[in-house]
Structure 1
Amino acid sequence: MANVVFLWHMHQPYYVDPAARVATMPWVRLHAVKGYLDMISVIEEFPRVRANFNLTPVLLLQIKELNEGKIRDLWLDWSRMPAVALDEETKFALLENFFKIHWDNLVKPFPRYWELLNKRGLTFYRDDVRRGLRYFSTQEFLDLQTWFNLAWCGYTAERLYPELTELKRKGRNFTEEEKQRVLDIHMEILGSLISKYRAAEERGQVELTTTPFFHPILPLVYDSSFAARSLPGRKFPERFSWPEDAAAQLTLAVEQHAGLFGKAPRGLWPSEGSIAPELIPLMQRSGIEYFCSDEENLFNSLKRDPAYQSRAVDHLELFQGWRVAHDGASVNALFREKPLSDFIGFMAARNSPQAAATHLLFHLRHIAELVPKETGVIPLILDGENAWETFADGGAGFLRAVYGGIESDSGRLHSCTIEDYLRHHPPQKQLTTLHTGSWIGSNFDIWIGEEEENRAWNLLGRTRTFLQEKINTGTLTPTQHATAMREIYAAEGSDWFWWYGPDFSTENDALFDSLFRQHLRNVYTLCGAVAPAALDVPISTRSTEPLYTVPERLISPSLDGGESFFDWLGAGGYTPGSEQGAMYRAERLISRIQFGNNEKMFFIRVDLRKRAAAELIVQFHQPAEQQVKISLAGVKKSFVHIGVPLAELGLTGEATLAFQVKIVQDGIELECYPESAPIQFQLLGRDFALRNWIV
């Protein structure tokens, strides 16, 4: 029997404009009425199942501030406003923002909501939308205000408040009273969340863990030069080294957690699984008994550990607890099983709930047969909020099937809290050389080392140095000191750096950039000084890049397994992962897709990171639903070339073709690219070369 540990990570960055005390984005409230409520409620249906929840302090702070009326939710203000009283700017804001929701699962199923989206336009063109404001009636804006907030309500909210289901059935012509009731329900749910999680822990069904307060990459706050350990040769910013801030982020997290839940947390999910040996003494001093990180960090640690350098490391070393020591201090640790954790977060929703659950349970049982009975542990650690929007039913069917499967299989699988596991099975092995890195790539590439990221770190470092100089003069009052430090701690959060640089992009890059610089400006203002002009200059300068490139010339590559750079010159291209947003996926089989055509054939090249006993499927969506399947079991090269006659696809001339590429294993869809919408392009006709010929 193996111990299965679920650690569901719940996090939202600090969206609050510190000057206006307004949450400029609504995701704390909206995830509350969906994922946060659903996740703590569905587990109540399985009293013998145990789970762990990581509620970040900065998330809890915003829940608390919203409940106490200490901050306002800007999008809630827009929603509360009577539709008849909306001014032009607010109407524009509604049309821009109130379709920021999963369209397939939460817009298309509701005819009125889908109708409003189509009227606005599936692609948001600012000038067109502004010109079209006059064509939206007051009732249409009222329905939009209602639908956006109604659609976010999860399956538990509908069970607790049946009137939500009735409103969804009604579908249109909502009244102001009905809209206000939806928003009141949002606030009622928000007000109940902390007590629900506390009650679940008090009855012993869940354990609540914490994270450094404002979700910083703690090793980089301790000393940004640590990044060079796993990214040698990279150009880094001016050194940022404030170990006392790293300690404070832990202390503040423990203090708030104890105040909200009645006891201090035992466990820590370091922000983004980021660890370094120097953090071990800080954890021990703050009362943290264990931390969790990623399997790559474990295996990179073992590569450097003297006790393991003389022998190969078996992957089964992962499925146990560890004691980690440094500089006279030690804490326990668990390391996440990556492939199954990523499957839940990224691919389970692409399969039926039962099939996805069966796939997960099968692999858990297989691992259970390989690890020591009673002491083996399988840590599944992942985002506990963002994934559920991609499930048609909000994840209810999948979670119930998984929890139910574990509850009924007590002979092979046993779910437990991390504290219970470590208490009954103290680690028998010790790491003496802990790797420095995060759960993403086992390094800190996402947050440091690119031009925008480095500039942000430099501005943060100069502001922190300025504040310390003011503190050292003794001229700041205790309130000034404490408030200015909170602004620094907020600016140390990882989320700002996540969106800087080329790795990730969002429609709200400029807003995140502005909030980051506002925190730094506030430090100077609180100290009675004028902020440097550099803080008025945006850091983020990138515009959104296209998801894929379309072909620029006709191609006729060889299909006999040969490889030539020139064969694919001018082909269209897509790189998996280029559409990533708030979530990161590490394991991908496909590294690159190229495509194009000549007069008679459509060609596609798929580059593979590794070989696998799986099936590659090219799923055509336009002009009709068709599939081409290739077994990868016998593929000897690192790429696959496929040619499909255009006639077989029902295509002629310069028609439009739309497709996705999938990896399927044992009937379970593991990868799909692009993830959100297919590649769509116009075939190049035979006279294309003549029309585009130049000397």
Structure 2
Amino acid sequence: MKSSSPKLYLNLYWHMHQPDYRDTLSGEYVLPWTYLHAMKDYTDMAWHLENLPAARVTFNFVPVLLDQLEDYADQFATGKMRDPLLALLAEPDLKHISTAQHRLILESCFKCNHEKMLTPFADYQRLYNLYVAVETQGGHALDYLSSRYIADLLVWYHLAWTGESVRRTSTLVQALMQKGSHFTLEERQALFKLIGELITDLIPRYKKLKHRGQIEISSTPHHHPIMPLLIDLKSTRDAMPFAPLPQCGKYPGGQARARAHIVSAQVSHLKRFGCEPDGMWPSEGAVSHATLTLLAEHGVKWAASGEGVLAHSIYKSFNNLDLPPRQQYLYQPYRVTDGEHEIYCFFRDDQLSDKIGFEYSKLFTRDAVNDFIAALDNIRDSYDGEGLPVVSVILDGENAWEYYPYNGHYFLSELYEALSTHPDIEMTTFSDTVARSKANEALPVKTLPAIAAGSWVYGSFSTWIGSPDKNLGWDLLCKAKKQYDKVMQAGTLTETEQAACEHQLAICEGSDWFWWFGDYNSAISVDSFDRLYRQNLGNLYRLLKLPVPDVLNRRISVGSGDPAMGGTMRRGQEN
């Protein structure tokens, strides 16, 4: 039975984001990750909350992800498929697909965590073994894989990317997994239809959870830009004093562009969820005093960032005062103000967040849950700050589960159960925490005089700027933005054409392109995002009716690494 006055408040915050994978000129998807995560992770994450009403968490949905989910729903509603891989699942005649389509299937349909998503299924493993055996022959040997093989591979890839909650409730999925092979056209099309139903129902499911008060939904500036860098590239040097910067020196009109992403996100949230968001996760938890002030000016009540940013900000605020033990400063919200506007800021517990993201997938579920609860109990017992401790655990809500058995089903079920029944822990939301603080419910808030610019990754912007290839990416963007400004000022485009250019520019300003530049990332991932970034910049020039620079035909970055979790996630602190 819960205590009447909990001793620890827990803000569990799941960030949902995919960059725009579309070629905006053709409307076709270049990469399938949005719909794959939708049918696996977004469905499961909703299911866990629907089945345990006592649990409370916050979800962050980036508008560009919601744009794509609605676009997929439209594809299913109209029958006009713009994702080539998804369309092939329901293709009536796999015997006569093109060489390019054949290659797309073979290059795509083994991309998953083999240990957790392929090896457990004997029929899928046999398909992979056959592929490896044929591939080693070289030449055109892969052409001998028949349409029957292709049909089974398409089905198994989508079954592997199906959420565990769906596997446990869908008789169709259960029947297909039991059958194992020789899938018919009717079966492929039934699975295709189910995927459409899952994706179409996602936003309504989360909206229902919000309306019953079980979750809070926050937002992010629309296309996920690193706002402090848009506003001032030199903010890099708050945490990286000697970092080389892009040659362009500054991003032209960055303040206005950051503002546009914020306003667009608020419009998106109002449209999808019936109100503007109370809080925002600044893209990558990237903050600066100027960024937080801009959010506050637009009525955003709270934001969140990383533990490293808080440590650097305390140094900056109090003249390099020796940093006290983390339990004395981390577990409370802070107020940031410019004198006229204020915003509450919460900071991520890197250790607990990274345990979920990187460590617990390797443990037995009960051991992982017990470790998490014990860590919270220790925070509560050792806390010697003012008021009650507020712990913020913030991480990717989609990529981690690929590395857990059963897509994290048992871990999340047992974790939510343990947290929601713990007598001294209250699962809450950021807005509720702000409300409690303003009501003086044993949650005093200190003002943080200065914010050190940085992100949740290492407290710096090193993931997005400061290396030759990342800086080149910025220089290419800056040059394109200067051309954009000239064309807009000339007034030679129609309003519709101007809107298309602004939308394309917003896509190019996203953080994900810079995230993937770097030899520490895998060659396949770097190549995919490098190509898409250059294609997006090229499309911007085309929409501006300008020639595409030759430099966009040359690679920006080459990967050769093997990062943890495929590079889709980072730890908050360097090992």
Q: 1:506 to 1:413 in 2, by over 3 A?
A: farther
Alignment of 1:58 with 2:75, yes or no, is: no
Alignment of 1:465 with 2:465, yes or no, is: no
Further displaced range: 160-169 or 287-296 = 160-169
Alignment of 1:273 with 2:290, yes or no, is: no
Q: 1:407 to 1:310 in 2, by over 3 A?
A: closer
* Number of the residue aligned with 1:448: 465
Q: 1:588 to 1:467 in 2, by over 3 A?
A: closer
* One-letter amino acid matched to 1:583: M
* Number of the residue aligned with 2:396: 383
Indicate if the aligned counterparts of 2:365 and 2:410 stay in contact, CA closer than 8 A. Answer: yes
Aligned-pair CA distance for 1:130: 5.3
Of 128, 149, 159, which aligns to 1:150?
A: 159
* One-letter amino acid matched to 1:47: P
Alignment of 1:111 with 2:129, yes or no, is: no
Aligned-pair CA distance for 1:544: 2.7
* Number of the residue aligned with 1:349: 361
* Number of the residue aligned with 2:242: 233
Further displaced range: 108-117 or 501-510 = 501-510
Aligned-pair CA distance for 1:186: 0.8
* One-letter amino acid matched to 1:376: P
Distance 2:209 2:25 in 1: 36
Give the alignment of 1:189-200 within 5 angstroms. 189-200=198-209
Of 528, 531, 544, which aligns to 1:511?
A: 528
Aligned-pair CA distance for 1:231: 1.6
Of 199, 219, 232, which aligns to 2:228?
A: 219
Indicate if the aligned counterparts of 1:210 and 1:257 stay in contact, CA closer than 8 A. Answer: yes
* Number of aligned residue pairs: 555
Indicate if the aligned counterparts of 1:323 and 1:428 stay in contact, CA closer than 8 A. Answer: yes
Distance 2:326 2:373 in 1: 23
* One-letter amino acid matched to 1:472: Q
* Number of the residue aligned with 2:345: 333
Residue by residue, what CA displacement relative to the aligned partner does 1:384-428 show, whole Å, maximum 9, x if unpaired?
11111111111111111111111221x211100111111012352
Indicate if the aligned counterparts of 2:332 and 2:390 stay in contact, CA closer than 8 A. Answer: yes
* Number of the residue aligned with 1:72: 82
Indicate if the aligned counterparts of 2:350 and 2:571 stay in contact, CA closer than 8 A. Answer: no
Q: 1:128 to 1:286 in 2, by over 3 A?
A: farther
**DSSP 3-state at the match of 2:329:** helix
Give the alignment of 1:178-217 within 5 angstroms. 178-217=187-226
Distance 1:495 1:53 in 2: 20
Aligned-pair CA distance for 1:128: 4.5
Residue by residue, what CA displacement relative to the aligned partner does 1:333-384 show, whole Å, maximum 9, x if unpaired?
1101111110011111101111111111111112122336973211110011
Aligned-pair CA distance for 1:466: 1.1
Q: 1:380 to 1:523 in 2, by over 3 A?
A: same
Residue by residue, what CA displacement relative to the aligned partner does 1:84-128 show, whole Å, maximum 9, x if unpaired?
233333222222210001111221111111011111118x96x85
The unaligned stretches of length 5 or more in structure 1 are 548-576, 590-695
Give the alignment of 1:70-149 within 5 angstroms. 72-81=82-91, 82-121=93-132, 128=137, 131-149=140-158
Indicate if the aligned counterparts of 1:21 and 1:71 stay in contact, CA closer than 8 A. Answer: no
Aligned-pair CA distance for 1:580: 4.6
Q: 1:258 to 1:11 in 2, by over 3 A?
A: same
Distance 1:373 1:522 in 2: 54
Aligned-pair CA distance for 1:578: 6.9
* Number of the residue aligned with 1:618: none
Distance 2:508 2:160 in 1: 33
Alignment of 1:407 with 2:387, yes or no, is: no
Q: TM-score, normalised by structure 2?
A: 0.92
Indicate if the aligned counterparts of 1:105 and 1:392 stay in contact, CA closer than 8 A. Answer: yes
**RMSD over equivalenced CA pairs, Å:** 2.1
* Number of the residue aligned with 1:431: 448
Indicate if the aligned counterparts of 2:16 and 2:60 stay in contact, CA closer than 8 A. Answer: yes
Indicate if the aligned counterparts of 1:375 and 1:425 stay in contact, CA closer than 8 A. Answer: no
**DSSP 3-state at the match of 2:524:** coil
**DSSP 3-state at the match of 1:395:** helix
Residue by residue, what CA displacement relative to the aligned partner does 1:450-473 show, whole Å, maximum 9, x if unpaired?
111111111110111111122222
Distance 1:339 1:530 in 2: 49
* Number of the residue aligned with 1:597: none
Aligned-pair CA distance for 1:71: 6.7
Q: 1:351 to 1:364 in 2, by over 3 A?
A: same
* One-letter amino acid matched to 2:238: R
Residue by residue, what CA displacement relative to the aligned partner does 1:640-661 show, whole Å, maximum 9, x if unpaired?
xxxxxxxxxxxxxxxxxxxxxx
* Number of the residue aligned with 2:511: 494
* Number of the residue aligned with 2:570: 584
* Number of the residue aligned with 1:608: none
Aligned-pair CA distance for 1:311: 7.5
Structure with the higher fraction of residues in helix conformation: 2
State percent identity of aligned pairs.
31
Indicate if the aligned counterparts of 2:13 and 2:392 stay in contact, CA closer than 8 A. Answer: yes
Distance 1:44 1:307 in 2: 48
* One-letter amino acid matched to 1:524: Y
Indicate if the aligned counterparts of 1:2 and 1:374 stay in contact, CA closer than 8 A. Answer: no
Indicate if the aligned counterparts of 2:85 and 2:104 stay in contact, CA closer than 8 A. Answer: no
Indicate if the aligned counterparts of 2:457 and 2:573 stay in contact, CA closer than 8 A. Answer: no
Distance 1:321 1:366 in 2: 19
Residue by residue, what CA displacement relative to the aligned partner does 1:35-80 show, whole Å, maximum 9, x if unpaired?
1010011112221211000111111111011112387112112322
Give the alignment of 1:656-667 within 5 angstroms. none
**DSSP 3-state at the match of 2:190:** helix
Q: 1:41 to 1:116 in 2, by over 3 A?
A: same
* One-letter amino acid matched to 1:109: P
* Number of the residue aligned with 2:263: 251
Aligned-pair CA distance for 1:314: 4.9
**DSSP 3-state at the match of 1:204:** coil
Aligned-pair CA distance for 1:527: 2.5
Distance 1:318 1:130 in 2: 58
Structure with the higher fraction of residues in strand conformation: 1
Q: TM-score, normalised by structure 1?
A: 0.77
Aligned-pair CA distance for 1:306: 2.9
